[in-house]
Amino acid sequence: MARRSRLPGLRPPHEHAAALAATQDLTAPQHLRAAICLAAITLNLTFWALLLLVLLPAKAAPRTRPWFRRTAARIYRAAVRVDNVLLQRISRASWRVRALRLDPARPHIVLSNHRSWADIFLVQSLIATRGPIVTFQCKRELLYVPIFGLIILAFGFPVLRRQAQRGIDAGSRRGDDRRRVTEAAAAQLESPPAIHSFAAGPRVTAPQRDENSRAARDGHEASRTAPQYQHLLPPRAGGLAAMIEALAPGGGSIVDVTLAYPRPSTFWEFLGGTAGSVEVAWEAIPIAAVESADVTSWLNDRWRRKEALLDRRSL
């Protein structure tokens, strides 16, 4: 019988206690499997990123820009397919999902709940394998991280300023972020991707849920204006509204994805193959059906449905 290892998980100490304990209980072979898979994914990403670097000058010239976008999209899908194989063969990770085919000629918006870094791989597998590539809203700081910065520039990911700067108030920063999202979305109408938004922002954690519960008990103003959740954080509609405004002329759809994990788990557990089989549910809604609606009310309603779905899965 394999000896139990006590290596720490990837989450900081204040994260979900049950998930951290489970990570610490991984066997040595499971830790090794996670490490090998992470190294393989990193090498896969590096290989395709270096190829992008060689081709990137073609993006600057109007004549070669369409060719670059088509080629970059093929590179993206190739990287996703390799990641799928690595996760299934090395990590023995598994997920269940109905096939989804989106029109690659139209823009799409992807919404999902957020539990760990594993979500990104699951969303890419669902959307990009047979449809458009997926771009993500990114923090400005990632522009200066090797490989990630290159990917952001090559695919035109929307870049947001999350931290306050001297002389810039929160309202101005949010307005600037909304403008950046709108411009990035409008620019990509020429070669439509699926723009992903974690509408609730950070990964949901036990301390955050406890804070929401305390606010509800204390009669906090926020608790009277937004629904309370056990599995989710309240959504924020600003970024979604900007995307809808920019992408509505192109048609397309909003794909609401719910990632149902068997139990709270870390990305390291997912790589180690102990997170269990993740169920990926989705529903596609035409952007036109949401364009004329109150986006905040619509998003809150979707989040209530998502919460009910996660409740039924007994997460």
What is the pLDDT, as a whole number, of residue 223? 44
Domain carrying residue 145? 20-312
> Could you give the percent of the chain with pLDDT greater than 90?
46
Total count of domains within the chain: 1
The rounded radius of gyration (Å) of the Cα atoms in the chain is 20
13: in domain? no
Q: Determine, yes or no, domain membership for 1.
A: no
pLDDT digits (tens, 9 = 90+) for 209-218: 555 555 545 5
CATH number of the domain residue 297 falls in:
3.40.1130
Higher pLDDT, 156 or 255: 255
SS3 285: strand
Highest mean pLDDT among 125-139, 163-177, 229-243: 125-139
Nearest alpha-carbon partner for 123 in 308, 282, 313: 282
Calpha distance 24→21 (Å, rounded): 5
User: What does the pLDDT look like over 267-306, one tens digit per residue?
Assistant: 999 999 999 999 999 999 999 888 767 899 999 999 999 9
- 209, 120, 180, 49: CA torsion to nearest 10: 150
pLDDT band at 176 (very low <50, low <70, confident <90, very high): low
pLDDT at position 268, please?
Answer: 96
In a domain, 109, yes or no: yes
What is the predicted pLDDT for the residue at 154?
Answer: 93
Mean pLDDT for 22-46 is 91
The Cα 61–Cα 59 span in angstroms is: 6
10 domain-assigned: no
Residue 302 domain-assigned (yes or no): yes
Average pLDDT over residues 98-116: 89
